[in-house]
Chains A and B, each alone.
Chain A
Amino acid sequence: DTAVSQTPKYLVTQMGNDKSIKCEQNLGHDTMYWYKQDSKKFLKIMFSYNNKELIINETVPNRFSPKSPDKAHLNLHINSLELGDSAVYFCASSQDWTSGGQNYGYTFGSGTRLTVV
Chain B
Amino acid sequence: DQQVKQNSPSLSVQEGRISILNCDYTNSMFDYFLWYKKYPAEGPTFLISISSIKDKNEDGRFTVFLNKSAKHLSLHIVPSQPGDSAVYFCAASVNFGNEKLTFGTGTRLTIIP
Chain A contacts to B: CB under 8 angstroms: 4, 33, 35, 40-45, 48, 56, 90, 92, 97-100, 103-111
Contact = CB atoms under 8 A, between A and B. Distances in A.
Contacts of B43: 4, 90, 92, 108-111
Contacts of A108: 36, 43-45
> For this complex, into which size category does the number of interface residues on chain B fall?
20 to 34
Given A98-B98, A105-B49, 13 more contacts: A40-B105, A42-B105, A90-B43, A104-B49, A105-B46, A105-B97, A106-B46, A106-B101, A108-B43, A108-B45, A109-B43, A110-B43, A111-B42
Contacts, number: 58
Contacts of A40: 105
B105 A100 contact: no
Interface of B: 2, 32, 34, 36, 41-46, 49, 87, 89, 91, 96-103, 105-106
Contact of B98 (A33, A90, A100, A107): A100
Nearest to A58: B100
Nearest to B6: A41
B49 A111 contact: no
Contacts of A90: 43-44
Nearest to A96: B98
A106 B99 CA distance: 11
Most interface-central of B42, B89, B98 (chain A CB within 10 A): B98
A43 B96 contact: no
B103 A44 contact: yes
14 contacts: A4-B43, A40-B105, A41-B87, A42-B103, A99-B98, A103-B49, A103-B97, A105-B34, A105-B46, A106-B44, A106-B46, A108-B43, A110-B43, A111-B42
